[in-house]
Amino acid sequence: MCVEKLYSNIVGTPVKLHGETSPIATVRDLIVDPETGKVVALVVNKRTNKIIVPHDIVEWGDILHVHNHDAIIDADEVLRVEEIMKRNAHHIFQNKVVSVDNENLGIVTDYAVDARALKLKKLFVSKVFLGLIRLGSRIIDEKNIIEILPDRIVVKNFQEVKEDKAVKAEDLAVG
């Protein structure tokens, strides 16, 4: 079963030691591997590049629980995280989204992550006017994401997506 969490709800989540009541940190950002769409780290301090890697998470509901203080480490201690951060390709939120034909679809205004598999599931994309007004909102499923780059996310053309759905509908009607 897939339990999706929105980026906007993840940022600000308190981090506590398992069994304790006081938070030791707060989730500030996610680092997503642009090649796999997997969350490879949760950033708890952007200035000092402190992170928590997924295997150190004990429980994750409204609060993120870790075993001990050693779960918070420097980002450069994890080679894959360090590589992704150096390429600056891990930013999903507010990244520009374009189709294969280079049509500007807008920016990522939020995104959903499978809370169990820690994998990118959906992009919520809108054209934003004056930073306040959202136009042409779309939800883009992970299977329609072609490439995540530092300056943009490339997705399938919407005509292709509609054709894919039509083919699947035909397959269901025949079977």
**Residue 43 reports pLDDT greater than 80:** yes
Q: Is 11 in the same domain as 82?
A: yes
The tally of domains found in the chain comes to: 2
Q: What is the CATH number of the domain that holds 15?
A: 2.30.30.240
Q: Is 50 in the same domain as 69?
A: yes
Q: Which domain holds residue 30?
A: 4-87
Q: Is 72 in the same domain as 104?
A: no
Q: Is 9 in the same domain as 82?
A: yes
Q: Are the C-beta atoms of residues 4 and 114 closer than 8 Å to each other?
A: yes
Q: Is 73 in the same domain as 122?
A: no
- 32-to-6, 124, 160 alpha-carbon distances in Å: 14, 16, 26
Task: Label the pairing between strands 14-17 and 64-66.
Answer: parallel
Helix (H) or strand (E) holding 161: helix 158-174
What is d(CA 48, CA 64) in angstroms, rounded to the nearest whole number? 20
Q: How many helices (H) and strands (E) does the chain have?
A: 3, 15
Q: Is 49 in the same domain as 8?
A: yes
Per-residue pLDDT tens digits for 77-123: 999 999 998 887 668 998 999 999 999 999 999 999 998 899 999 99
pLDDT range class, residue 129, cuts 50, 70, 90: confident
Q: Is 9 in the same domain as 76?
A: yes
Q: What pTM was computed for the model?
A: 0.83
Q: Is 28 in the same domain as 76?
A: yes
